[in-house]
Amino acid sequence: MPLSKPPLAEKLTRRIPASQRPDLAGVLIPEADLQRRIALMGRAIARDYAGKDVLVVSLLSGTVLFLADLLRRLPFPLRVDFLGVSSYGLGTESGNLVFNKELKLDVCGAHVLVVDDILDTGKTLRAVTEKITALKPASIRTCVLLDKKDRRVGSFEADYVGFRIPNLFVVGYGLDFAERYRNLPFVGVLKPEVYAPKPAPKPGPASARKSAA
């Protein structure tokens, strides 16, 4: 008798490396879907920027895998620079924004394409575009792999979006939690208990009685 096909969730969970399986609830965007979508984004960007002096500004460190794959899909001369911005610290809620690496290249007169991993509240990209606009580029646009639109505070839209995703904390494909999981080749969902561990149970009446004894 032929084996029945496993349900999709179970099939996707099998792709998670065994050592990280206990931390992940599942795969949200498999590797093949990422590559297919990035190829289409590359085509759209190439159409819009043909013949222009393009400077790609990538935000460290979450863009590392997305940037590498996107750049391979941009078949025209361009420059790449990196801006270090940190907003999350070691938790999952937006904290204060810190610039920890400045641009090296001259932005003035260039057509700047800012590349980020995920657009959440919009605070990071708003601050970054303001900072770069002050350096007088010829134009500035933004490109993100993921967009959590429901989390936006105020209005901010990216010009190029890979995937709109629900309000889940995701890791993998460059995205981290406490600097881990960046090397996963897919976008996965972290189990809430990993980033919000349950508090230790308070001693109940039984243990109170025991310690009083």
Interface mask toward ligand 5GP for 35-74; x: CB under 6 A: ---------------------------x------------
Question: Closer to Mg ion at the Cβ: 12 or 165?
Answer: 165
Q: Which of the stretches 32-40, 60-68, 125-133, 159-167 binds Mg ion when contact is defined by CB under 5 A?
A: 60-68
Q: Which of the stretches 18-26, 48-56, 107-115, 169-177 binds ligand 5GP when contact is defined by CB under 6 A?
A: 169-177
174 is a contact residue toward ligand 5GP (CB under 6 A) = no
Q: Which two tokens stand for residue 135?
A: 């350096």
150 in active site: no
Report the 10 Å Cβ neighbour count for 113: 26
The neighbouring-strand residues paired with 172 are 175
| Cα 150 versus chain centre, distance | 15
Which has the closest alpha carbon to 85: 64, 54, 116, 111? 116
62 is a contact residue toward Mg ion (CB under 5 A) = yes
3 state SS of 145? strand
CB of 206 to Mg ion, least distance (A): 47
How buried is residue 185: exposed, middle or buried, by Cβ count under 10 Å (0-12/13-18/19+)?
A: middle
Q: Which two tokens stand for residue 198?
A: 């349950």
The site for ligand 5GP (CB under 6 A) is made up of 62, 87-88, 94, 116-124, 169-171, 175-177
Binding site for Mg ion (CB under 5 A): 62
